[in-house]
Amino acid sequence: MKEERPSKLKLIPLELADMMIKAYDKQRRGPASKKISRELGKEVEDSRSVWIGKEAILELLELNKADGIRLYFGIADDYPGHKLKRPEHKKRHTVVMVATKSKDSDNPTMENSVDCLRISKQPSLDKDNGGKIGPILMPISSSEAEAEAGLPADDINMCPPPPSGDGCLLPL
């Protein structure tokens, strides 16, 4: 019989999550929204969150035989060779998900994990991954995944505050 490991989840109270999100809104998202609005010459709300589907996370882990994921913060924008398909995401905060592999597979931690970056020198589809592009993922929803061939920075579902609290469990 396999021995069960203790849970690695660190749950926090709803009240603490609410305070943390409100602090982010006040200290980071609010000022960023004002700056983006000035730069673009129109009213813009920066991202409050991103949404990533379970299938995308599991596929990223499987493609890389990984035991973790590192989230890097980034800015969605037009970059050389990579133009945004959704101009409404220009200059918004986003995340880049990178699979990680722990040096100690019995104790995967942030400290002993390394990024799985098997990036080929050619910017072509990786045949070993069934035509997927590299080990880095900017997730797209399943409906968009079938219609789109690439994974540009704006395909992640960036979320401004939901209208009237729909889809949001936190008392924001």
- Give me the pLDDT at residue 15, please: 93
Q: Which residue has the tokens 């749950």?
A: 11
Instruction: Copy the structure tokens of residue 85.
Output: 């398909």
Q: Out of 26-30, 84-88, 163-167, pick the least confident.
A: 163-167
- Kindly indicate the confidence band of residue 96, based on its pLDDT and cuts at 50, 70 and 90: confident
Domain ranges within the chain, ordered by starting residue: 12-46, 49-164
The conformational region for residue 2 under phi > 0 = left, psi -120 to 50 = alpha, else beta, is: beta
Q: Is the pLDDT of residue 33 over 80?
A: yes
Kind plus residue range of the DSSP H or E element containing 33: helix 30-40
Distance CA 82, CA 161 (A): 27
Q: Which residue did the predictor score with more confidence, 69 or 135?
A: 69
Question: Across-strand partners of 132?
Answer: 126
Burial pattern 54-89, b for ≥16 Cβ within 10 A else e, equals eebeebbbebbebebbbeeeeebeeeeeeebeeeeb
Let me know: does 101 contact 116? Beta carbons within 8 Å: yes
